[in-house]
């Protein structure tokens, strides 16, 4: 099973700042890496798929990068609605796995 480790566990930033979230895989996941945002009481929302492709309707301030085992989600300038929990997910090998999440909180 591929283990995804996200860091940091919690990130405290202010609106307007840049957020950088990391996801490291225990082995290569090729380009099969996605990012999700989840707010309390809501289902997850797909942000990025296949490392760098923004899902439909996702603002350009969200971007994904990386390859192999190290991946990054960047939010260029935080908006108030961006404070949430973020998960990475791989589909390179079965079983599909998720990272443990990064909580992005308002400083």
Partner 1 sequence: EVQLLESGGGLAQPGGSLRLSCAASGFTFSSYAMSWVRQAPGKGLEWVSAITGSGDSTYYADSVKGRFTISRDNSKNTLYLQMNSLRAEDTAVYYCAKRIAGAGLDCWGQGTLVTVSS
Residue 21: left if φ>0, alpha if ψ -120 to 50, beta else—which one? beta
Rounded Cα distance between 75 and 95, Å, is: 28
- Is residue 95 within the footprint of partner 1 (CB under 8 A)? yes
* Nearest distance from C-beta of residue 93 to partner 1, angstroms: 11
Closer to partner 1 by CB, 28 or 92: give it: 92
Residue 20 near residue 72, CB atoms below 8 Å = yes
Residue 55 near residue 48, CB atoms below 8 Å = yes
Interface residues for partner 1 in 23-82 (CB under 8 A)? 29, 31-34, 36, 38, 43-46, 48-50, 55-56
Nearest to 83 by CA among 34, 23, 33, 17: 17
* Nearest distance from C-beta of residue 2 to partner 1, angstroms: 11
Closer to partner 1 by CB, 34 or 104: give it: 34
> Under the rule (CB under 8 A), what is the footprint of partner 1?
1, 29, 31-34, 36, 38, 43-46, 48-50, 55-56, 87, 89-92, 94-101
């Amino acid at each position: 099973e591929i283990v995804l480790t996200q860091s940091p566990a919690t990130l405290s930033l202010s609106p307007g700042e840049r957020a950088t979230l990391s996801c490291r895989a225990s082995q290569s996941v090729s380009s099969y890496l996605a990012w999700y945002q989840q707010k309390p009481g809501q289902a997850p929302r797909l942000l990025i798929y296949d490392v760098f492709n923004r899902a439909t309707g996702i603002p350009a301030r969200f971007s994904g990068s990386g390859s192999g085992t190290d991946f990054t989600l960047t939010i260029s300038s935080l908006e108030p609605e961006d404070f949430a929990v973020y998960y990475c997910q791989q589909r390179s090998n079965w079983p599909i796995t998720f990272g443990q999440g990064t909580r992005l909180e308002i400083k």
